[in-house]
Structure 1
Amino acid sequence: MQNDIFLNLHHIIAAGWRRRYTIVLPIIIMPFIAALVGVMSQKTYQNHTTLLVQETSRMNPFLEDFSVSTQLKERMTALKALLHSRHVLSSVIDEINGDISDKPTTEADIARLSSKLSVQLIGSDMVKIAYKDSNPSEMKRTLEVVSKHFLNKLLAPEKSSIGASEDFLKSQLERHHLALIAAENKLSAFKSENVDRLPEQYQYNVKTLRELGALREEKLASLAGAKAALKSLSTQLLKTNPMISSVEETIMARTAQLAILKSKYTDSHSKVITLTKELKRLESQRDSILKETNSLANTDIEKLWQLATNLTDQYEGGIQRPLLVSQLEAIEQAKSRYQQLEQELVHVTARVDQLKANLEQFGATEQQLTELQRDIATNKQVYNDLLKRYEMAKVTGALGRFEESERIKIIDRPFVPVTPMTPPLSIYLIAGILGGLAIGLCAAFLLEISNTKIVKREIVENIVGVPVITRLPRFEFAHQTGSQNAIAEAPVDREL
Structure 2
Amino acid sequence: MTTFASVLPAIVSEARRRRVVMGVAFALIALAALVTGMLWPKKYEASTTILAQESSIISPLMEGAAAATGNKNRASIARDVIFSRKVMSEVLVAGGWMATHPSPVEQDRIIDGIKARTKVVTAHDNLITISYSDSNPKRTYLVTRELAQLFISESLASKQRESRDAYEFINSQVEAYRKKLTDAEDKLKAYRDSNDDARPGSEADTNARISQLRSQIETARMDLMERRSQEGSLAAQLTGESEVNTVQTTGGIYETQMADLQGQLDKLLLTYTEEYPDVVRVRHQMQDLRQQMAQDDQRKAAAQLSGTPIALDSRVQFNPAYQQIKTQLAATRASTAAAAARLGASEAMLQSELQRSARIASSENVTSELTRDYNVNRDVYQDLLKRRENARVSMNLDAEQRGLTFLVQNPAVMPLTPSGLRFMHFSLAGIALSLAIPLGLLFCAVRFDPRVRSVERLEQATGLAVLASIPFYPTPNDRRRDRLQNLILLLMVAGVGVVYLAMFWLRLKQ
Query: CA distance change for structure 1 residues 122 and 385 in 2, over 3 Å: closer, same or farther?
Result: same
The match for 1:202 among 202, 206, 216 is 206
User: How big is the shift at 1:137?
Assistant: 3.6
Match of residue 46 from structure 1: 45
Q: 1:451: Cα distance to partner?
A: 1.0
Partner of 1:33: 32
- Alignment match, 2:488: none
Aligned equivalent of 2:330: none
CA separation of 1:439/1:404 partners in 2, compared to 1, >3 Å: closer, same or farther? Answer: farther
Q: CA deviation at 1:170?
A: 0.8
Residue 451 of structure 1 corresponds to 449
User: C-alpha offsets along residues 141-177 of structure 1, whole Å, 9 cap, x if unaligned?
Assistant: 3333322332244445533322211111111111112
2:174 is the alignment partner of 1:170: no
d(CA) in 2 for partners of 1:349 and 1:470? 155
Q: Do the aligned partners of residues 469 and 144 (structure 1) sit closer, same or farther apart at CA in structure 2, a change above 3 Å counting?
A: same
Deviation of 1:61 (Å): 4.2
Contact 1:52 1:408 (C-alpha < 8 Å) held by counterparts: yes
Give the superposition deviation at 1:129: 1.7
Contact 1:42 1:134 in 2 (8 A): yes
Secondary structure class of the residue paired with 2:122 = strand
Return the offset for 1:76.
4.9
- Determine the structure 2 residue equivalent to 1:150: 151
Alpha-carbon distance between aligned partners in 1 of 2:210 and 2:193, rounded to the nearest angstrom: 20
Aligned to 1:439: 437
- Matching of residues 237-386 of structure 1 within 5 Å: 357-386=355-384
Amino acid at match of 2:207: Q
Q: Which amino acid aligns with 1:171?
A: S
CA offset at residue 454 of structure 1?
0.8
| Distance (whole Å) between structure 2 residues aligned to residue 137 and residue 48 of structure 1 | 13
- Answer whether contact 1:169 1:386 (CA < 8 A) is retained: yes
Q: What residue in structure 1 maps to residue 247 of structure 2? A: none
1:390 to 388, 393, 413: 388
Please give the alpha-carbon distance, in whole angstroms, between the structure 2 residues aligned to 1:469 and 1:95: 84
Residue identity in the other structure for 2:206: Y
Q: Structure 1 residues 370 and 17, CA, compared in 2 at 3 Å: closer, same or farther?
A: farther
2:244 is aligned to none
CA contact (8 A) 1:166 1:390 kept: yes
2:30–2:434 contact (8 Å) kept in structure 1? yes
Q: Structure 1: how far apart are the matches of 2:42 and 2:472?
A: 59
Structure 2 partner of 1:9: 5
Q: Against the structure 1 CA distance between its residues 14 and 58, is the aligned structure 2 distance closer, same or farther, given a 3 Å change threshold?
A: farther
Instruction: Tell me which amino acid in the other structure corresponds to 2:375.
Output: A
Equivalenced residue count is 339
User: Which stretch shows the higher mean deviation, 406-415 or 162-171?
Assistant: 406-415
Which residue of 2 is the match for residue 466 of structure 1?
464
Superposition map of 1:481-492 within 5 A: none
8 A contact 2:48–2:410 mirrored in 1: yes
Structure 2 counterpart SS, 1:361: helix
Could you tell me whether the CA contact under 8 Å between 1:54 and 1:408 is conserved in 2? yes
SS in 1 for 2:56: helix
What's the counterpart of residue 68 of structure 2? 68
Partners of 1:99 and 1:460 in 2: CA distance = 76
Indicate the RMSD between aligned Cα atoms, in angstroms: 4.0
Cα drift, residue 452 of structure 1: 1.2
When residues 139 and 16 of structure 1 are mapped into structure 2, their CA distance, relative to the original with a 3 A threshold, is: same
User: CA 1:32 to 1:474, structure 2 compared with 1: closer, same or farther past 3 Å?
Assistant: closer
Q: Is the 8 A contact 2:206 2:353 kept in 1?
A: no
Secondary structure in 2 aligned to 1:29? helix
For 2:127 and 2:76, the matched residues in 1 are separated by 14
Partner of 2:15: 19
User: Is it true that 1:57 corresponds to 2:56 in the alignment?
Assistant: yes
| CA–CA distance in structure 2, aligned partners of residues 40 and 98 of structure 1 | 23
**Is 1:121 the counterpart of 2:118 in the alignment?**
no
Conserved in 2, the CA contact under 8 Å of 1:45 and 1:134? yes
SS of 1:19 mapped into structure 2: helix
Q: In 2, are the aligned partners of 1:131 and 1:139 still within 8 Å (CA)? A: yes
Q: For the residues of structure 2 that align with 1:152 and 1:444, how far apart are their CA atoms? A: 64
* SS at structure 2 position matched to 1:50: strand
Match for residue 221 of structure 1?
Answer: none
CA distance in 2, matches of 1:122, 1:404: 25
Q: Hey, what's the Cα distance between the residues in 1 that align with 2:212 and 2:409?
A: 85
- CA contact 1:51–1:126 (8 Å) conserved in 2: yes
- One-letter amino acid of the structure 2 residue matched with residue 189 of structure 1: A
Structure-2 change in CA distance of 1:408 and 1:205 (3 Å): same
Q: Secondary structure at the match of 1:451?
A: coil
Question: How has the CA–CA distance of structure 1 residues 50 and 352 changed in structure 2, closer, same or farther, with 3 Å as cutoff?
Answer: closer
Q: CA deviation at 1:468?
A: 2.4
Between 351-360 and 30-39, the greater mean CA deviation after superposition = 351-360
Task: Find the residue that maps to 1:120 and give its secondary structure.
Answer: strand
Report how far residue 472 of structure 1 moved.
3.3
Q: Is the 8 A contact 1:35 1:428 kept in 2?
A: yes
Distance in 2 (CA, whole Å) between partners of 1:367 and 1:63 is 45
Distance 2:125 2:465 in 1: 76
Q: After superposition, what is the alpha-carbon deviation per residue over 1:97-154, rounded to whole angstroms, capped at 9, x for unaligned? A: 6985544442222222223322222444222222222233434433333223322444
- Share of identical aligned residues, percent? 24
Asked if 1:187 corresponds to 2:188, the answer is yes
Change (3 A) 1:371 1:155: same
TM-score scaled by structure 1? 0.57
TM-score if structure 2 supplies the norm length? 0.56
Report the CA distance shift for 1:169/1:94 in structure 2 as closer, same or farther (over 3 A).
same
SS for the counterpart of 2:469 is: coil
Looking at structure 2, the residues matched to 206 and 405 of structure 1 have their Cα atoms a distance apart, in angstroms, of: 64
CA contact (8 A) 1:162 1:396 kept: yes
Letter in 1 for 2:203: P
Cα gap change, 1:475 to 1:416, in 2 (>3 Å): closer
Mapped contact 1:47–1:417 kept (Cα < 8 A): yes
Contact 1:24-1:437 at 8 Å conserved across structures: no
Amino acid in structure 1 at the alignment position of 2:39: M
Do 2:121 and 2:129's aligned partners in 1 also have CA atoms closer than 8 Å? yes
1:195 deviation in Å?
Answer: 1.9
CA deviations 1:421-472 (Å, max 9, x no partner) are 3655444322211121221233123322331111233442344332223323
